[in-house]
Chain A
């Protein structure tokens, strides 16, 4: 992807206050590029979910955004606990978030299913004890 426009963001796992910053910044860039509003909306929803997940489960991680003329790929990579059962995690209502996090209103179990719904393709690469990498793909319509 050497041709792609690339932006990198550190997702700070130390605090909730900064969660969502990468998706807000990404949204600004996509708007500047003139990406279609519906695509920007989807990315802002899915990427925000992903960022929050990284803060809750994995003490943060890296968010990388690659943009080409026809595709946007967002890669969210963490070195957290990994997802034990991806199939279960894809069910709505399933959440492994700790109780204290659920009390904050997060961890309602909408994370992964929401990310899938708000992306054209989602690829999960996860290994227990090693970490999780999620790729969100968006195919842009030619105008």
Chain B
């Protein structure tokens, strides 16, 4: 199994060992041991639910701090489409881009623009000979990881196109190298402004030898604080700050934007990790019909709801709608054919495909017989447990606790309720 670096970490100083995250983790990856939460790296999908629900701010995402960036280099900011939904009364995307330039970035390449290219590529893929339908979007790294871990037969349905933030990094770098031959390419760095920690894990975990085009991933929260003080209503907008992304790219920030922009009739779009899991189960049992594309986002209502985004996602969604109305967001002529010639056959060129392989990474035991024996013992033990799923033992359910005891990871005495029931 490939090494996986998670972006979600626990601060033991702040963790009180309460059971909130334990019971909200969709993959049951958390245990409370020695009164502190622990995350199982194999099962964690970086959805950020534990960060969202922690009342003690004991979970945090790791990412590159702004102070880690060397602004003497040629830094290209890659703002996620959701960034444009963070500001009140914003009527033009250009103000944000100007703000980023004023922060010291040498250039800004909108991820929304790259998203428009990904839309084109996806449309080609769906109409081409290689598509396995219903095709599932691979843009949300949480969904990709969840499928690889738990839905082995759906792996081949993932769209093999790199996500917009990666494509943005690639195109931005290529453009900068072409336009600035005087700069050492080593000094050209791309900085993604991310609404979510899963993208951090993704970039840090891509297998060795494969190119990752995003050099730094910063938190939208951090950038927002800096931007607020720099964005001025009467700012003079330079030519370089003219937004090149249109409605299509910005719509990727909220659920169904990606799917709707494909102009393809049968699509399903869902968000929220629990809903995503339900849809994946239905896809696996073959009960979904007349669908050619599935867009799934771990966060509601889409990337604007990411845990690194400062504004309530639903408020951000309204602002993006307003930006569209007042700011006159239009469809911009960002056509992938202008960037990549010769795409007519519908085969996606390898340089635009996903850097990681969409293959099953079983979390189960390699030895089925041993696991069967363990689960059989666990079943017998579970019958004697209170079935309250209270989490006080440190495992998310009584059933999970039983298996933890059998595997020697917990002690039967950890169950606080059982003695009283026997009493």
**A interface residues, how many (CB within 8 angstroms):** 23
Given contacts A33-B372, A33-B375, A41-B153, contact A23 B285 (CB under 8 A): yes
Beta-carbon contact of B368 and A69 below 8 Å: yes
| A1-49, CB < 8 A from B | 5-7, 20, 23-24, 27, 29, 31-35, 37-38, 40-41, 44-45, 48
A122 at interface (Cβ–Cβ under 8 A)?
Answer: no
Q: Is the interface of B mostly helix, strand, loop or mixed?
A: helix
Residues of chain B touching chain A, judged by Cβ–Cβ distance below 8 Å, are 150, 152-153, 281-282, 284-287, 360, 362-369, 371-372, 375-376, 379
Q: With contacts A5-B379, A48-B287 known, is A37 near B153, CB below 8 A?
A: yes
Task: Kindly identify which residue among A31, A38, A48 contacts B285, using a CB–CB cutoff of 8 Å.
Answer: A48
Chain A residues, CB < 8 A from B365: 32-34
Contact, CB under 8 Å: A69 / B286: no
Q: Mark A49-75, 1 if CB is under 8 A from B, else 0.
A: 000000000000000000111000000
CA distance A31 to B375 in the complex (A): 12
Q: Which residues of A contact B (CB under 8 A)?
A: 5-7, 20, 23-24, 27, 29, 31-35, 37-38, 40-41, 44-45, 48, 67-69
Chain B's nearest CB lies how many Å from the CB of A67?
Answer: 7
Task: Kindly provide the distance from the CB of B409 to the nearest chain A CB, expressed in whole angstroms.
Answer: 14
Closest to B365 in A: A34
A38–B371 CB distance below 8 A? no
Measured in the bound complex, the distance between the Cα atoms of B403 and A29 in whole Å is 12
A20 cross-chain contacts in B, Cβ below 8 A:
281-282, 285, 287
Q: Is the CB of A45 within 8 A of B368?
A: no
Chain B: minimal CB distance from A89 (Å): 20
* Residues of chain B within 8 A of A69, CB atoms compared: 368-369, 372
Is the pair B364, A45 in contact by a Cβ cutoff of 8 Å? Answer: no
Nearest chain A CB to B369 CB, angstrom units? 5
Partner of A32, one of B153, B366, B371: B371
A35 to B153 CA separation, bound complex (whole angstroms): 12
